[in-house]
Structure 1
Amino acid sequence: MSASHRTPRARTLSRLAVAVATVALGAVACSSGGGPETSTSSTTSSGSPGPRATTASAVVAKSVPSGPAAFLGPVRRIPANGITIGYRQFGSGPDLVMVMGDTGAMSDWTVDLLSRLSRHYRVTIFDNRGVGYTTDDTSVPDTIPLMADDTVALIKALGLRHPALLGWSMGGEIGLTVAALHPGAISALVSTGGDLGGRHAVNTPPAVAKELNDPKTTGPQMLDMLFPADATAARAAYIHQLGLIPPEKVSDATLLRQYRAGQAYSSFEDTWNELPASTIPMLITNGALDKVTPPANASIITHRAKHAELVMFPDAGHAMPVQDAARFTSLVTRFTQAPGTA
């Protein structure tokens, strides 16, 4: 399918957050700049020592969420790859870095999923360039390989040693590109709702792409694309969850730049070309009812990689990681602790 049919798929996450945050109890507006910053050492939200960062980080004042999301701790910011990346770090155990999708912010992960993962890992979530608390360099085109470079630079800046990487939607594509082009940076990859780009990707159906890109598309219509029709409880839970972490801003300029990054990925062949040489264990997952990223992509990725396992969630859509957070967390934990047992 031509690049003209490539859609900024996880833009759904950003637009949906805006559309439904007004009905989510406890939603608190939060600017991308946060408040004043003060220097801090690298520690988890519980105060336990973290890895020795190679670069000094700073805390964003008044950025600790209240209520059920308080365990996330404050937003920190650290220079990496020519920009300043905003991130949160919490939990305990081996390191897990989570990569959000197209124009989605780290506030678009749900508290339920993050809480479950934090029982097994020291989790790092962050904003991709231009999103929320992370700056951008608009003098260079934004691309998925560049965001993969950002991810690797963040890992190095934080002093993480071969963390596992988990990516959702475009975040899965960033993760696949890290595994293909920077395999020494991570120990394992979990990718859900992504594809390999280039001519081998099965792109979003045109009718779905049109609805995703239509500014008149409502929050309920977005939910229809993220969740199966019968997943009413999961939809309601997701709306509630979006109100638990202060939402972050995404500018129109970033929407456009990341849309173009998705377009460029349609002609980027290096992830496809280099993936077979990667020795990184990979868990490839997808919702079998995914309307946004055709599930066939998961099979394509698994056959292309030499060390990949495929697990499909038969009753889930594009929002599978939050729709079935308990099973997904169990799967991720088993895989990263003992690859080959997922």
Structure 2
Amino acid sequence: MRFWLSALLGLLLATPARAADYYFTTSDGARLHYTEAGPAGAPFLVFVPGWTMPGWIFSPQLKAFSQSYHVVLFDPRGQGSSEVTATGYNQDRRGEDLGELVDRLPGKVVVIGWSLGVLDTLAWIHQGGSDKLAGLVLIDNSVGETPAPVPQPGSRQPPMPVPRSREAKMRAFVEGMFRTCPAESYLNRLTVSCLRVPPAQAEELLRYPVPRSYWKDAILSTDVPLLYAVRPRLQGQAQNLLIDRPNTSIAIFPNAGHALFVDDASRFDALMRQFLETKARL
């Protein structure tokens, strides 16, 4: 009997918590969505996705961490299941959106931002939003450090006829996130989600009107523990960040695509778990 009880307990502990969908209304009236899973009273991890991407791209991390932490997958405005508003696609409003989500959560949080989500997170910090931070994980985007990033030579995508439709361009963009291409159904679902963001709003998200120093000022304004996980093209920034900013850890992913937390989920999750257990102020 004791054996079966022990086995049942082990099975329950190995099963990720059931995810639920929630919405909140921002101070400017936008209805934004997030997915949440995890045991009551556990520390909060907030994942912020990149340009046009839905929060569910962090599903591997929801599965990996929702047994021990309260995981929140955020859909920024216009993305995922959040409302597509006419305005608000600049760094100030996006930073406010994240801050208003974090303010809803009890206690300290660790924020994990990827790609454009790095900039949205730093915009929130620039506005004074680091008081609730227990830790920070920034994934594969420039943080305003030197050297400035340069375009990557070449592409694994085959040349396509021009002009291309918006759908074809977005599909190529989505495929380019990964070194190891996921299943066709996954790519299709991700492409459809990304296409929810209208062209004008998607373009606005690519033109945050601030200098590179804005992002560096933000990241140097706080001393909370930081894990900076990037591909080799940003290794120079990572090394300089170690010099300029105490309490920083770096990890270089030479064998993964931009969505390195999907391509190399096992390594990313192990590094993040170590960071949470030994560095974050939870």
What TM-score results when the alignment is normalised by the length of structure 1? 0.63
RMSD: 3.6
CA distance in 1, matches of 2:218, 2:259: 28
Question: Residue 101 and residue 315 in structure 1: after superposition, are their counterparts in 2 closer, same or farther (change >3 A)?
Answer: same
CA distance in 1, matches of 2:190, 2:178: 21
Give matches, 1:188-199, under 5 Å: 188-197=135-144
Aligned to 1:226: 177
- SS of match in other structure, 1:76: strand
- SS of match in other structure, 1:226: coil
CA distance in 2, matches of 1:317, 1:220: 14
On the 8 A contact 1:276/1:305 being kept in 2, the answer is yes
- SS of match in other structure, 1:269: helix
CA distance in 2, matches of 1:271, 1:199: 12
CA distance in 1, matches of 2:69, 2:251: 21
Question: Residue 198 and residue 314 in structure 1: after superposition, are their counterparts in 2 closer, same or farther (change >3 A)?
Answer: closer
**Is structure 2 residue 272 aligned with structure 1 residue 338?**
no
For residue 123 of structure 2, the aligned residue among 171, 177, 180 is 177
CA distance in 2, matches of 1:104, 1:319: 11
On the 8 A contact 1:196/1:272 being kept in 2, the answer is yes
Aligned to 1:161: 107
Question: Residue 135 and residue 324 in structure 1: after superposition, are their counterparts in 2 closer, same or farther (change >3 A)?
Answer: same
Q: Which deviations, in whole Å up to 9, do the C-alpha atoms of 1:204-253 show, x marking residues without a partner?
A: 34866x98996444847753x3333xx4xxx23x5565689996464353
Higher relative contact order structure (alpha carbons within 8 Å, sequence separation ≥ 6)? 1
> Following TM superposition, by how much is the alpha carbon of 1:274 offset from its aligned partner in structure 2, in angstroms?
3.5
Question: Residue 283 and residue 249 in structure 1: after superposition, are their counterparts in 2 closer, same or farther (change >3 A)?
Answer: closer
Question: Residue 148 and residue 206 in structure 1: after superposition, are their counterparts in 2 closer, same or farther (change >3 A)?
Answer: farther
Q: Which deviations, in whole Å up to 9, do the C-alpha atoms of 1:111-139 show, x marking residues without a partner?
A: 33320121231101121012232225534
**Is structure 2 residue 45 aligned with structure 1 residue 101?**
no
On the 8 A contact 1:180/1:278 being kept in 2, the answer is no
Residue 98 of structure 2 aligns to which amino acid in structure 1?
A: T
**Is structure 2 residue 254 aligned with structure 1 residue 309?**
no
On the 8 A contact 1:87/1:124 being kept in 2, the answer is yes
CA distance in 2, matches of 1:76, 1:131: 15
- SS of match in other structure, 1:145: helix
CA distance in 1, matches of 2:272, 2:172: 29
For residue 328 of structure 1, the aligned residue among 257, 268, 274 is 268
CA distance in 1, matches of 2:35, 2:136: 20
> Following TM superposition, by how much is the alpha carbon of 1:300 offset from its aligned partner in structure 2, in angstroms?
4.6
CA distance in 2, matches of 1:180, 1:281: 16
> Following TM superposition, by how much is the alpha carbon of 1:201 offset from its aligned partner in structure 2, in angstroms?
3.6
CA distance in 1, matches of 2:278, 2:131: 19
Aligned to 1:90: 37
Give matches, 1:266-285, under 5 Å: 267=211, 269-285=213-229
> Following TM superposition, by how much is the alpha carbon of 1:84 offset from its aligned partner in structure 2, in angstroms?
1.6
Seq. identity, %:
19
For residue 114 of structure 1, the aligned residue among 30, 48, 62 is 62
**Is structure 2 residue 78 aligned with structure 1 residue 78?**
no
Give matches, 1:1-16, under 5 Å: none
On the 8 A contact 1:283/1:311 being kept in 2, the answer is yes
CA distance in 1, matches of 2:192, 2:52: 12
Q: Which deviations, in whole Å up to 9, do the C-alpha atoms of 1:90-115 show, x marking residues without a partner?
A: 02331100001011012333x33320
Question: Residue 146 and residue 324 in structure 1: after superposition, are their counterparts in 2 closer, same or farther (change >3 A)?
Answer: same
What TM-score results when the alignment is normalised by the length of structure 2? 0.75
- SS of match in other structure, 1:189: strand
For residue 144 of structure 1, the aligned residue among 87, 91, 98 is 91
Paired residues, number: 256
Question: Residue 204 and residue 170 in structure 1: after superposition, are their counterparts in 2 closer, same or farther (change >3 A)?
Answer: farther
For residue 71 of structure 2, the aligned residue among 106, 123, 127 is 123
Q: Which deviations, in whole Å up to 9, do the C-alpha atoms of 1:156-210 show, x marking residues without a partner?
A: 1x233221011111112222333444211321100111112599641434866x9
For residue 132 of structure 1, the aligned residue among 80, 105, 112 is 80
